[in-house]
Structures are given as structure tokens and as C-alpha cells.
Amino acid sequence: MNKYKMVEIEDISKSDFNGTVYDFEVEVDHSYTVNDIIVHNSVCRTRSRTGVGKPQFSAIREVCKALEANDFDHIKTIADGGIVDVGDISKALIYADAVMVGAVLAGTSETPGSVYPVAGTNLINRQWYKVYGGSASAENKSLNAGKKPEFVEGEMKIVPFKGKAKYLLREIADGVASTFSYSGSKTMDEYKRKVQYKIMSESGTKESKL
């Protein structure tokens, strides 16, 4: 595992995307194409609001299989959503080349927004929080569109203030490195070749404390 160094963000800007969007059909009729596949993250409410969506592992697996079947397996894929613990990252990396960890890093010092004290805590047991919002939340839609949205698929939520992101990133790096050791892998390519997974029963899930 490579070690990473945290640096301050120097600039944030928007730019147009001029790349190619690939449109591959995945293996079952009720799935979605690569260019409009919908997954589900911690502040997304698309599934409950529209009934449309797919579990993250299944989504990234089908996308990767579609890419491979069409000789585009050199294209890198990113898992977006569903990350709660380090083990989720290890599972996603079976197919994905990278993961998005928005909710994991939400509330850290490096994220935008102010830090507020939790009501009812005093100077001895003081707790703090920040506000984390999805791009489809009413607040962000209003900010970006300049008008009140009529339909929203995301929400704003309060998350505990977590301090520096580097501590979470270290935990993630150590956890993924341990996963690699259990599978006898030293590289991502080797990990993807060697790792095996099975569907776990409800009893097995409880026993594993998942």
C-alpha cells in the first residue's frame, strides 16, 4: 500500500466534461446502462422516492462485466456509495479501481461548512457537528438552480465532527492492507484475481456482526 500525504486544497473550480460516455447494456433487463446507472449513498433517497436503484456491489460488478465483454476492460471504474466501514471498501475493490467516500469523510476538518456545538453538551463533555448534504437535496438544488425545487431525491443531515481526515484515511489504508494480506495479494491486479466472495446467510451476517 502506498502512503499518501494530506495537502491543503489550493483551488476549486468547475469545468465542462468533453469525454465519451459509453453506453453498454448489462446482463439483466431490470439493470441500467453505464451512462445512467443509479446507485445509493448515505444521503441519497432515490430508491425510496422513485423505486429506482441497485445495490452498489451489484452495480459495479455488472458495469465491469459489461466493459470486459465489449473489450473496454482497460477503463477504470469507481464505486460511488455504500461505504460504511473499511470492509465495504475492500469488497468494492474486487471490481472497482477506486471508491468514493463522501459520507465517511463528511464532518472532517477538510470538508466545507461550519462546526457547531451539540445542544445540551457543556464545556466538559462538549460535542460538535457539521452539516452534510446530497447534491439532490432541496437545499443544494435551491442553491444551484436559484429556485425552490418541487421534487428532491436527497437530504441534508447532521454528522459528528470527526477532526482531521488523515486519521480516517490511515485506518482505511491499514484495513485494506490487512485485506490484501488475508487474500495473499500484494497488488490490486493480484487481489482482483485471487479474491473470492459468496452470498452470506442472515445467520452468517449476524454472526459476523455486520
Using CA atoms, how far apart are residues 71 and 24, in angstroms rounded to an integer? 11
Rounded-to-10 torsion of CA 135, 138, 140, 142: 140
Active site residue 44: yes
Cell of 137: 437535496
Spatial CB neighbours of 191, under 8 Å, sequence gap ≥ 6: 93, 94, 179, 180, 183, 185
- DSSP per position, 161-207: --B-HHHHHHHHHHHHHHHHHHTT-SSHHHHHHH----PPPHHHHHH
- 128 DSSP β-pair partners: 117
- 159 DSSP β-pair partners: 130
Catalytic residue among 44, 83, 92, 176: 44
Residues involved in catalysis: 44
